[in-house]
Amino acid sequence: MNNLRRTLYRILETSAGNRRGLSLLFNIVLITIITLNAIAIVLHTVPAYNRQYARLFYDFELFSVAFFTIEYGLRAWVCVENDRYEHWFWGRLRYLLSASAIIDLLAILPFYVTLFATDLAIVRILRLFRIFRLFRVSRYSRAYRMILQVVRDKKEELVLSLTMVGFMLIIISSVMYYVEHPAQPTVFSSIPATMWWGINAMATVGYGDIHPVTPFGKLLAGLSAVLGIALFALPTGILVSGFTEHIRHQKAPRRCPHCGKEMVRE
């Protein structure tokens, strides 16, 4: 039984390092099913296709749910092969509460809930959760893992820059409220309502549903747009720097710490 579980773990978990044979085949099948699910979710909203292929969509949904349910159960069973989840109970519980397991659960849970739900509005909302199946492709993507690593490495700088954006949004929205409220009391009715304008101005979106009419308000709006460009460029620059460092580190030759010779990457 332990040998079977260990073999399944190597097939199911790409982190186990086995990317050949059955593991590669399973990954291809899984990504194909996820991709077809995304296509089915999109086409299901087209009335003509929904009427003509309603039965096909439903049968494919049943197959997908059965496939993902079995896979979810197998992952919960073999997760104890990972050192982080080695305890037979607490390890599995820790795995089931992990982000990847929750995404896997959200991909199948709506189907079972809709079997007992009678409220059509709830059914429609829960069906949207099927889109979480797309996130499952990310665990097999090298680019996605690189993005996560860069975000982890630069999280302090990102939090600092986003905090500055938040502070600037509050300051600009507060000043704009006191400037424009006397002229447009219904539009700039409060600071939280003015924040919608602040987001549009700093992001240079310019929907135009809320805009200043006083000369000082227009001047403040122009400054907000300029400051927004500079502030929103900060996280971009931080991420670009992180990607550059990560790629340079990956391409740099690895050398033996004892003899100094270049090591071959596997």
The span from the CA of 137 to the CA of 68, in Å, is 13
pTM for the model stands at 0.62
Output the pLDDT for position 66: 92
Can you spell out the DSSP letters for 46-99? SHHHHHHSHHHHHHHHHHHHHHHHHHHHHHHHHGGGSGGG-STTHHHHHHHTSH
* In contact, 9 and 81? CB cutoff 8 Å: yes
Phi, psi of 255 (to 5 degrees): -120, 150
Q: How many angstroms separate the CA atoms of 32 and 145, rounded?
A: 20
Low-confidence ranges of the chain (pLDDT < 70): 14-20, 117-130, 135-144, 252-266
CATH fourth-level superfamily of 2-140: Voltage-gated potassium channels. Chain C (1.20.120.350)
> What is the structure's pLDDT at 34?
85
Q: Domain segments of the chain: what residues?
A: 2-140, 153-263
The upper half-sphere exposure of residue 160, i.e. CA atoms within 13 Å in the direction of its Cβ, equals 6
Q: Name 254's bridge partners.
A: 263
The tens digit of pLDDT for each residue in 13-70 reads 754 444 567 777 888 888 888 888 888 888 888 999 989 999 999 899 899 999 999 9
* Helix and strand element counts for the chain (H, E): 11, 2
The alpha carbon of 205 is separated from its chain's Cα centroid by a whole number of angstroms, namely 23
- 153-263, what's its fold? Helix Hairpins (1.10.287)
**What pLDDT, on a 0 to 100 scale, did the predictor assign at position 123?**
60
Distances (CA, A) of 114 to 14, 15, 106, 136: 32, 33, 13, 22
Match 């996605």 to its residue by tokens.
144
pLDDT at 83: 86
The pLDDT of residue 114? 78
Q: Is 211 exposed, middle or buried (0-12, 13-18, 19+ CB in 10 A)?
A: middle
